[in-house]
Amino acid sequence: MYSARMNTPERLIESTRELLWERGYVGTSPRAILERAGTGQGSMYHHFRGKPDLALAAIRRTAEEMWATARSLLDGPGTPYERIEAYLRRERDVLRGCPVGRLTMDPDVIASDALRAPVDETLDRLRERLAEIVEEGKAQGEFALSLDAAEIAATILATVQGGYVLARASGSPTAFDAGVRGLLSLLRTDTLR
């Protein structure tokens, strides 16, 4: 399943990332991690103190990857509107859901300050960057001066995360796409300017 060049800790982290997304924290047993990684029990405990330590490494990796993807679009070329549009319309497997957002629905992750921290930090950074872009748009006359940048950033993030939920519930990406189109039309609307 994994490249022969991938070392054991990497295989363990990647296996844990996949299993957390598929099964959640409780459903991600050490045995399942080891089977998916193709390693023995000694390997896991040689590199990590146990399941919580390995899960934290996996959650951090997932959060960092999400932030890097979002940042590449939000810091890319184009007007503030075009960068927000690029973020909203980027290729996603909406029926699988957001690997970071799904962690917020896992009671064991949310109950642990350590496991929840990378999720919370990533969502905060994303909201902050989106708010900065909205402020840029206001300064450039692209968005109404009356818009509250923090509220718009929260709305963008809520549209994405809620879109995942609606798409998964209906078994179709249509609901996600409709939410994105609706938000973009609100951002474009002359009544907001």
Regions in the chain scoring below 70 on pLDDT: 1-4, 189-193
- Domain-embedded: residue 82: yes
Residue 150 tokens read as 């923090």
Instruction: Name the one residue in this structure whose structure tokens are 């995942």.
Output: 164
Give the model's pLDDT for residue 192. 45
- Domain-embedded: residue 1: no
Residue 175 tokens read as 């609901």
CATH number of the structural domain spanning residue 36 = 1.10.357.10
- Domain-embedded: residue 3: no
Alpha-carbon Rg for the chain, nearest whole angstrom, is 19
Taking the C-alpha atoms of residue 137 and residue 116, their distance in angstroms, rounded to an integer, is 32
Residue 46 tokens read as 């040689």
The whole model's pTM is what?
0.89
Give the model's pLDDT for residue 80. 97
- Domain-embedded: residue 144: yes
- Domain-embedded: residue 2: no
Q: Do the Cβ atoms of 115 and 109 come closer than 8 Å?
A: yes
Taking the C-alpha atoms of residue 175 and residue 164, their distance in angstroms, rounded to an integer, is 8
- Looking at the structure of the chain, the number of domains it has is 1
| Domain that residue 119 falls in | 8-192
- Domain-embedded: residue 173: yes
- Domain-embedded: residue 15: yes
- Domain-embedded: residue 104: yes
